[in-house]
A and B are shown apart, each in its own frame.
Chain A
Amino acid sequence: MSLLAVENLSVSFHTRHGVVRAVQDVSFQLERGQTLGIVGESGSGKSVTCYSIMGLVPQPPGRTEAGRALFDGVDLLSCPRRRLNRIRGARLSMIFQDAMTSLNPFLRIGDQLIEPLMIHEKVARPAAIARALAMLDAAGIADAERRLKMFPHEFSGGMRQRVMIAMALITKPDLLIADEPTTALDVTVQAQILELIRKMQRELGMAVILVSHDLGIVAGFCDRVMVMYAGRVMESAPIDDLFYDTKHPYTRGLRNSIPALQMKGGELHVIPGQPPDPHHALPGCPFAPRCAQAVDYCATEEIRLLETAPNHRTACLRVQKEGMPV
Chain B
Amino acid sequence: MSAAALLQVQDVKTWFPVDKGFLFKRRVGEVKAVDGVSFSLRQGEILGLVGESGCGKSTLARTILQLVRPAAGAVLLEGRALTALRGASLRRARSDFQMVFQDPYASLNPRMTVFDALAEAMLAHRRVPRRELPGRIDALLEKVGLSPQARRKYPHEFSGGQRQRIAIARALAVAPKLLVADEPVSALDVSIQAQIINLLARLSREMGLALLFISHDLSVVKHISNRIAVMYLGRIVETGPAAEVIERPLHPYTKALISAVPIPDPRREAHRARILLPGDPPSPLNPPGGCPFHPRCLYAQPRCAQVVPSLEPFGQSGRQASCIRMREIDI
> For the complex, is A205 an interface residue (Cβ under 8 Å from B)?
no
> For the complex, is B147 an interface residue (Cβ under 8 Å from A)?
no
Rounded to whole angstroms, the CA-CA distance of A42 and B261 in the bound complex is 21
Q: Which of B210-226 contact A (CB under 8 A)?
A: 216-220, 222-224
> For the complex, is B269 an interface residue (Cβ under 8 Å from A)?
yes
Rounded to whole angstroms, the CA-CA distance of A195 and B256 in the bound complex is 15
Q: Which of B223, B261, B264, B274 contacts A265 (CB 8 A)?
A: B223
Closest A residue, CB atoms, query B55: A186
Rounded to whole angstroms, the CA-CA distance of A267 and B149 in the bound complex is 27
Q: Which of B243-276 contact A (CB under 8 A)?
A: 243, 246, 256-270, 272, 274, 276
Report, as a range, how many residues of chain B touch the other chain.
35 or more
Q: Which residues from B are CB-within-8-Å of A191?
A: 259-260, 274, 276-277
Q: Which of A188, A259, A261 contacts B277 (CB 8 A)?
A: A188
Q: How far is the CB of B207 from chain A (nearest CB, A)?
A: 17
Spot the interface stretch: B18-26, B35-43, B119-127, B194-202.
Answer: B194-202
How many contacts between A and B, using CB within 8 angstroms? 128
> For the complex, is A118 an interface residue (Cβ under 8 Å from B)?
no
Q: Mark A270-287, 1 if CB is under 8 A from B, else 0.
A: 110011000000000000
A41 contacts B267, C-beta separation under 8 Å: no
Q: How far is the CB of A226 from chain B (nearest CB, A)?
A: 15
B276 contacts A259, C-beta separation under 8 Å: no
Q: How far is the CB of A142 from chain B (nearest CB, A)?
A: 9
A187 contacts B194, C-beta separation under 8 Å: no
A257 contacts B190, C-beta separation under 8 Å: yes
Residues of B within 8 A of A (CB): 52-53, 159, 161-162, 189-195, 197-198, 201, 216-220, 222-224, 242-243, 246, 256-270, 272, 274, 276-277, 280-281
- Give the 6 A-B CB pairs with smallest separation, nearest first: A216-B262, A220-B269, A259-B223, A186-B52, A41-B189, A257-B194
Residues of A within 8 A of B (CB): 41-42, 156-159, 186-192, 195, 213-217, 219-220, 239-240, 243-244, 253-255, 257-265, 267-271, 274-275
Q: A191-B259, A268-B197 are known; give 12 further A-B pairs, CB within 8 A.
A: A41-B189, A186-B53, A187-B218, A187-B257, A219-B262, A220-B262, A220-B269, A220-B270, A240-B266, A257-B191, A260-B265, A262-B263
